[in-house]
Amino acid sequence: MCIIPPRSPLGAAETILNVKSSLSASQSHASQCRTGHAFIGEYYARFVPTEDPSCACGIFAQTREHVLRDCDYFEPHRHILYDFEPQFSISDLTGTAEGITALSEFLKVSGAYRKGVPRHGEDYLPVL
């Protein structure tokens, strides 16, 4: 006998909520990194003009590329990305399971993509 569980009145919406609630914060930030909808300057410049688009390191426009490849603030944790691929590509980092795992770990320990990461001129205290 096959028993079919009762359907929720919320249906697909409830499924989406359950998936979202099961994501860790770093997985959520990795997803934000993949889509470009994140607490970084390039998002602020486009969608939240009242927020400062600069990076804590002083560069005017904080982009995904800058955070992942260039920013001195996140350099202590960048080895996670180089361990994934020494010459990592953003598309591999955001488009493969191994890349997303490395990206999630980098975002977790660096604090990048987290709201409240200091802006230009503020002290930075990485999450360890």
Burial status of residue 13 (CB atoms within 10 A of its CB: 0-12, 13-18, 19 or more): exposed
Site string for Zn ion, 48-67 (x = CB under 5 A): -------x-x----------
Indicate the residue among 72 and 98 with the shorter CB distance to Zn ion: 72
Indicate the residue among 55 and 103 with the shorter CB distance to Zn ion: 55
CA dihedral 101, 104, 108, 112 (to 10 degrees): 140
Distances (CA, A) of 26 to 5, 94, 120: 32, 13, 23
Residue of 38, 71, 103, 112 interacting with Zn ion (CB under 5 A): 71
- Asked if 40 interacts with Zn ion (CB under 5 A), we say no
Q: Using CB under 5 A as the criterion, which residues of the chain lie in contact with Zn ion when the complex forms?
A: 55, 57, 71
